C-alpha cells in the first residue's frame, strides 16, 4: 500500500502517518533551522525592542480562490497584523485543523503557498501543530497562525493616535478580496477579472515608516472594509473624518460586480491594503513612499481628520452629496478570511 491520497484520522494520531505528514510535507516546505529541531518548544533570539504579537484563525471558504489560498492568506493576515503596530515580523507559528478526507494534494498546495508567502515576507515558521478531525467536524481545513515581531525602539503607531488635521491615505483599491471570495463562493460564474489582493504588507509599511516620522496609524482594512476600519480609528482617536468618495480607488471590475450584487466595496475585506494616517506636512511624502512600492502604486489621499464630531466618518459623495459612512453592522458575513 502506498501513501494514502486523502487525510485520515491516523494522520493526527501522532504515529507513523503523522510523522510522514510532518516530515514529508510540512518540513519539506516550511522547514528551517529552528523548525527542523522538532523539539517541544522553539527557542529563538530577538533583536532589541518591544514585541508585537498577533494571532488569527483562518476558515475562508472556498480554500482556493483567485489570487491565493487559505495558506497564503494565513501568512499574510498575521504578518500584516503585526506590521500595523510597527512590528517587524520575524516568526510565525502555524496550527492546522484538517478534516478527514481532505485530499493530500490540496494540503500540499496550501502548504506550498504558505512557504512562498513566508519566504516573500521574510519570516520563519518556528513552531507548528496538526490535528485531524472527523468528517463534518471542520470544513476541509482551518489554519491558525500567530505572528511575532519586534517594534524598533522609539516607534509608536496605533489607532488611537490620529489627530485633527491628519491626512488619511490608502495604499490601493478597496474591496478586491471580499468581492473575489463572494463571487467564488456563490459560483456566480462571473467573467469579471477578479482577484484577491492578499499580500504581505511589511515591505510596503517599512517604506512609509522610514520616510514619515509623522506617521500615526497603520491599519489593514480587513473584515468590515475601509468604512469599518476608519470608524474604529475615529472612535479610538476621538476625531472625525471627512472622505472624498471620488478619491477612493476602486477597481472597475470590483465596482461592476458590486453594482450587480448590491454590495458596497467600502465594506468589503482587503487582505493586501493599508490605511495610513499621517501628519499633514508629510502627506505627500507618505503618498510617494507608498507609490514607490509595487503594492502601493495606486495609493491615494482620501480624506482628512477633524475635531468637530468625534467618532464620526463623513463622506462627500462623487455626486456632490454628503452622508455618514457608518460601521458595518449585522450584514451576514460569509467566511472571507
Partner 1 sequence: MKHVDEYRDPRITRELGAQIRRTSTKPARFMELCGTHTMALARHGLHAMLPDTVSMVSGPGCPVCVTATEEIDRAVKLARTPGVVVATFGDLVRVPGSHNSLAAERAQGAAVEVVYSPLDAVALAAKRPDEQVVFLGIGFETTAPTVAAALLTADQQGLGNFSVLSAHKLLPPALAALLSGPDLGLSGFLCPGHVTTVIGTACYEPVARDHGLPCVVAGFEPADVLAAILLLVKQVEAGESRVEIAYQRAVKPEGNPAAVALMNRFFEPVDAPWRGLGAIPQSGLALRAEFAHLDASKKFDVSVPPAQDHPGCRCGDVLRGLITPPECKLFNTVCAPSTPVGPCMVSAEGTCAAWHRYRRED
Interacting positions 155-194 with partner 1 (CB under 8 A): 186, 188
Instruction: Tell the smallest beta-carbon distance from residue 319 to partner 1 (Å).
Output: 4
- Binding part of the chain for partner 1, among 50-58, 94-102, 158-166, 324-332 by CB under 8 A, reads 324-332
Instruction: Tell the smallest beta-carbon distance from residue 312 to partner 1 (Å).
Output: 7
Instruction: Tell the smallest beta-carbon distance from residue 333 to partner 1 (Å).
Output: 10
Q: For partner 1, give the closer residue by CB, 64 or 314.
A: 314
Q: Are 213 and 286 in contact (CB under 8 A)?
A: no
Instruction: Tell the smallest beta-carbon distance from residue 62 to partner 1 (Å).
Output: 17
Instruction: Tell the smallest beta-carbon distance from residue 194 to partner 1 (Å).
Output: 14
- Binding part of the chain for partner 1, among 50-58, 154-162, 172-180, 309-317 by CB under 8 A, reads 309-317
Please tell me whether residue 331 binds partner 1 under the rule CB under 8 A.
Answer: yes
Interacting positions 262-301 with partner 1 (CB under 8 A): 262, 264
Among 122, 135, 324, 335, binds partner 1 (CB under 8 A): 324
CA 315 – CA 326 distance, rounded (Å): 10
Please tell me whether residue 329 binds partner 1 under the rule CB under 8 A.
Answer: yes
CA 100 – CA 105 distance, rounded (Å): 14
Instruction: Tell the smallest beta-carbon distance from residue 264 to partner 1 (Å).
Output: 8
Please tell me whether residue 307 binds partner 1 under the rule CB under 8 A.
Answer: no
Query: In the beta sheet, which residues pair with residue 58?
Result: 143
- Binding part of the chain for partner 1, among 6-14, 46-54, 173-181, 318-326 by CB under 8 A, reads 318-326
Q: For partner 1, give the closer residue by CB, 19 or 246.
A: 246
Q: b/e per residue, 104-127, with b = 16+ CB within 10 A?
A: bebbbbbbbbbbebbebbebbbbb
Instruction: Tell the smallest beta-carbon distance from residue 322 to partner 1 (Å).
Output: 4
Q: For partner 1, give the closer residue by CB, 151 or 327.
A: 327
Interacting positions 185-244 with partner 1 (CB under 8 A): 186, 188
Q: Which residues are CB-contacts of 83 (< 8 A; sequence separation ≥ 6)?
A: 89, 149, 200, 201, 202, 205, 218, 220
Please tell me whether residue 136 binds partner 1 under the rule CB under 8 A.
Answer: no
Q: Kindly write out the interface string for residues 249-268 of this chain, putting x where it contacts partner 1 by CB under 8 A and - elsewhere.
A: ---x--xx--x--x-x----
Report which of 15, 14, 18, 17 is spatially closest to residue 1, judged by C-alpha positions: 17
Q: For partner 1, give the closer residue by CB, 53 or 328.
A: 328
Among 283, 315, 336, 337, binds partner 1 (CB under 8 A): 315
Instruction: Tell the smallest beta-carbon distance from residue 103 to partner 1 (Å).
Output: 23
User: How many of the chain's residues bind partner 1 (CB under 8 A)?
Assistant: 26
Cα–Cα distances (Å) from 256 to 251, 298, 325, in that order, read 9, 19, 21
The 3-class secondary structure across 85-142, one letter per residue, is: CCCEEEEEEEEEEEECCCEHHHHHHHHHHHHHHHHHHCCEEEEEEEEEECCCCCCCEE
In this structure, what C-alpha cell is assigned to residue 239?
476625531
Q: Are 132 and 6 in contact (CB under 8 A)?
A: no
Binding region for partner 1 (CB under 8 A) = 186, 188, 246, 252, 255-256, 259, 262, 264, 309, 312, 315-324, 326, 329-332
Amino acid at each position: 500500500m502506498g501513501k494514502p491520497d486523502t487525510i485520515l484520522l491516523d494522520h493526527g494520531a501522532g504515529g507513523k502517518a503523522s510523522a510522514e505528514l510532518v516530515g514529508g510535507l510540512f518540513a519539506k516546505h516550511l522547514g528551517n533551522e529552528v523548525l527542523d529541531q522538532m523539539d517541544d518548544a522553539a527557542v529563538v533570539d530577538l533583536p532589541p525592542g518591544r514585541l508585537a504579537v498577533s494571532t488569527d484563525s483562518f476558515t475562508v471558504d472556498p480554500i482556493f480562490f483567485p489570487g491565493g489560498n487559505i495558506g497564503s492568506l494565513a501568512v499574510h493576515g498575521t504578518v500584516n497584523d503585526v506590521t500595523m503596530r510597527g512590528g517587524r515580523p520575524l516568526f510565525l507559528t502555524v496550527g492546522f485543523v484538517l478534516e478527514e478526507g481532505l485530499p493530500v494534494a490540496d494540503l500540499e498546495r496550501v502548504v506550498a503557498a504558505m512557504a512562498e508567502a513566508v519566504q516573500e515576507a521574510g519570516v520563519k515558521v518556528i513552531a507548528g501543530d496538526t490535528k485531524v478531525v472527523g468528517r463534518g467536524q471542520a470544513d476541509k481545513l482551518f489554519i491558525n497562525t500567530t505572528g511575532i515581531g519586534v517594534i524598533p525602539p522609539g516607534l509608536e503607531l496605533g489607532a488611537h493616535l490620529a489627530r485633527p488635521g491628519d491626512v488619511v491615505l490608502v495604499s490601493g483599491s478597496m474591496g478586491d478580496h471580499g468581492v473575489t471570495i463572494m463571487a467564488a463562493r456563490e459560483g456566480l460564474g462571473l467573467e469579471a477579472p477578479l482577484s484577491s489582493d492578499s499580500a504581505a504588507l511589511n515591505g510596503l509599511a517599512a517604506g512609509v515608516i522610514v520616510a514619515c516620522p509623522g506617521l500615526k496609524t497603520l491599519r489593514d482594512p480587513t473584515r468590515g472594509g475601509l468604512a469599518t476600519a476608519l470608524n474604529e480609528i475615529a472612535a479610538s482617536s476621538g476625531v472625525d473624518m471627512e472622505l472624498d468618495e471620488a478619491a477612493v480607488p476602486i477597481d472597475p471590475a470590483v465596482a461592476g460586480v458590486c453594482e450587480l450584487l448590491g454590495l458596497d466595496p467600502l465594506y468589503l475585506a482587503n487582505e493586501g491594503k493599508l490605511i495610513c494616517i499621517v501628519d499633514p506636512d508629510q502627506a505627500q511624502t507618505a503618498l510617494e513612499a507608498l507609490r514607490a512600492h509595487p503594492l502601493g502604486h495606486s495609493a491615494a489621499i482620501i480624506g482628512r481628520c477633524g475635531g468637530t464630531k468625534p467618532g464620526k466618518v463623513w463622506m462627500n459623495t462623487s455626486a456632490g452629496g454628503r452622508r455618514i459612512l457608518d460601521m458595518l453592522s449585522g450584514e451576514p458575513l460569509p467566511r472571507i478570511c
